[in-house]
């Protein structure tokens, strides 16, 4: 397929999925606005519609809570979203916006990256004006992440729900959920094999084969976590009190470290002073991420916030420190060796979300094996930072080929390239446009 024809297809997807000032990831499956989806979408839109790319960012910031949190979902008032709104009940927090309903958790903080990419397509004066407009909200979001979500001041931020990582059923989280967060009623449903009734309430399995999504038991446990947060009015102190587990996710913290660096760059370009307290937090977070390296087996791992112990389960999250830009060249080389190793991540259609040697590897099930364009994009960026241009170009080529042959699907099998999940998926379309422009 010719490059221009593929770009045309991707642009058509983004046009179809547009809903006012934001873009839906996939209308039937994901009808609202998602944080990191919109950031990736803006990165693609900037190549041909800069005003719409800016709108995507500004729409996200409208949903920001007064404490600084940018929620992972913002519900469009024009849609019939009553069920979703009632599940979250964001109004129970005094910090939630008065005029919008949102979720009560966040998602990987990649908005500084999106803002910088969008600004790079503006002339200098317009870019500075744009940065000055968004920086106060960006400062508040990063400060919230590194204060409320780092209660001990140790550097790494904690996540309270797997959805906050963006990698929903990542095996690291699923193990912890199964061990610590499965209430008696879910255990009973599982033992009695009654979990099939959950399909009646699930939107995703009405549009995508159940074998490609999270299990019903996993869905129930994730819902139960929301119910508990809601009961505690999304107050982090109450949520952490007697909490059996929280995770300092290595992927989330890698994205935060890189976007902290970008935040400093944006402030310097706009000549806006970063509060000293925030700057100290940024340095502390980067230092803590570097120390997450396991010297014995040469990997970065997420950490159990309660016990302080590393969760030694290798997934694509352990590769995301490449994107952070704060690790050493030797550490980056060790990660690249795993990407190239056919017994680990080096499959035919890279990069699987879970390595093939992981007992939980499933090439078709959501974040337990499939290849995703957004994580490829992040790792490609990291590879280029550390000078691994050849392997970065190879992954770009193979990623584009997947979309070229099958269309912009949500994810793909790393084994045979089979398209999976939702068709006409927005961030796949947007990031394909960006990869074609590199």
Instruction: Mention every residue, 6+ apart, whose C-beta is less than 8 A from residue 236.
Output: 148, 149, 151, 160
Which of 55, 168, 248, 434 is catalytic? The answer is 168
Residue 37 annotated in active site: no
User: Could you tell me the CA-to-CA distances from 409 to 19, 36, 233, 379, 435 in Å, in that order?
Assistant: 19, 17, 36, 19, 16
Burial class (CB within 10 angstroms; exposed 0-12, middle 13-18, buried 19+) of 360? middle
Name the token pair of 194. 């009654």
d(CA 139, CA 277): 11
Residue 228: CB atoms within 10 Å: 16
Residue 410 annotated in active site: yes
Q: Give the 3-state DSSP-derived string for the chain, with helices as H, strands as E and coil as C.
A: CCHHHHHHHHHHHHHHCEECCEECCECCCECCEEHHHHHHHHHHHCCCCHHHHHHHHHHHHHCCCCCCCCCCEECCCCCCCHHHHHHHCHHHCCCCCCCCCECCCCCCCCHHHHHHHHHCCCCHHHHHHHHHHHHHHHHHHHHHHHHCCCCCCCCCCCECCHHHHCCCCCHHHHHHHHHHCCCHHHHHHHHCCCHHHHHHCCCHHHHCCHHHCCCHHHHHHHHHHHHHHHHCCCCHHHHHCCCCCCEECHHHHHHHHHHHHHHHHHHHHHCCCCCHHHHHHHHHHHHHHHCCEECCCCEECEEECCCCCEECCCCHHHHCHHHHCCCCHHHHHHHHHHHHCCCCCCCCCCCECCCCCCCCCCCCCCCCCCECHHHHHHHHHHHHHCCCHHHHHHHHHHHHHHHHHHCCCCEECCCCCCEECCCCCHHHHHHHHHHHCC
Tell whether omega for the bond before 351 is within 30 degrees of 0, i.e. cis.
Answer: yes
Which of 56, 76, 113, 410 is catalytic? The answer is 410
Active site amino acids: 168, 410
């Amino acid at each position: 397929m010719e490059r221009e024809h593929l770009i045309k297809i991707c642009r058509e997807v983004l046009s179809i999925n547009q809903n006012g000032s934001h873009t839906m990831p996939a209308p039937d499956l994901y009808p609202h606005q998602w944080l990191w989806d919109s950031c990736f979408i803006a990165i693609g839109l900037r190549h041909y519609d800069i005003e719409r790319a800016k709108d995507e960012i500004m729409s996200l910031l409208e949903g920001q809570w007064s404490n600084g949190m940018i929620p992972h979902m913002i519900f469009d008032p024009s849609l019939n979203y009553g069920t979703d709104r009632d599940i979250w009940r964001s109004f129970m927090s005094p910090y939630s916006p008065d005029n919008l309903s949102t979720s009560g958790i966040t998602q990987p903080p990649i908005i500084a990256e999106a803002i910088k990419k969008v600004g790079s397509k503006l002339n200098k004066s317009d870019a500075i004006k744009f940065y000055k407009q968004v920086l106060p909200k960006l400062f508040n979001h990063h400060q919230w992440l590194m204060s409320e979500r780092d209660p001990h001041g140790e550097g790494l931020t904690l996540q309270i729900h797997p959805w906050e990582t963006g990698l929903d059923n990542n095996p690291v989280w699923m193990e912890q959920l199964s061990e610590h967060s499965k209430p008696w009623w879910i255990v009973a449903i599982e033992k009695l094999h009654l979990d099939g009734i959950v399909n009646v309430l699930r939107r995703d399995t009405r549009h995508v084969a159940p074998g490609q999504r999270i299990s019903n038991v996993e869905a129930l446990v994730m819902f139960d976590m929301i119910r508990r947060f809601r009961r505690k009015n999304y107050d982090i102190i109450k949520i952490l009190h007697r909490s059996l587990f929280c995770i300092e996710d290595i992927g989330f913290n890698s994205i935060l470290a890189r976007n902290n660096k970008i935040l400093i760059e944006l402030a310097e370009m706009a000549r806006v002073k970063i509060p000293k307290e925030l700057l100290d937090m940024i340095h502390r977070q980067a230092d803590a991420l570097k120390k997450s390296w396991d010297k014995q087996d040469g990997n970065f791992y997420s950490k159990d916030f309660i016990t302080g112990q590393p969760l030694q389960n290798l997934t694509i999250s352990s590769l995301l420190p490449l994107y952070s830009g704060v690790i050493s060249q030797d550490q980056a080389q060790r990660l690249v060796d795993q990407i190239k190793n056919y017994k680990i991540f080096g499959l035919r259609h890279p990069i699987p979300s879970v390595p093939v040697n992981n007992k939980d590897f499933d090439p078709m099930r959501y974040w337990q094996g499939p290849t995703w364009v957004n994580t490829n994009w992040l790792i490609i960026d990291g590879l280029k930072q550390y000078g691994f241009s050849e392997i970065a170009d190879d992954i770009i080529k193979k990623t584009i080929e997947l979309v070229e042959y099958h269309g912009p699907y949500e994810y793909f099998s790393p084994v045979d390239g089979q398209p999976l999940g939702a068709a006409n998926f927005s961030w796949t379309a947007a990031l394909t446009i960006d990869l074609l422009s590199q």
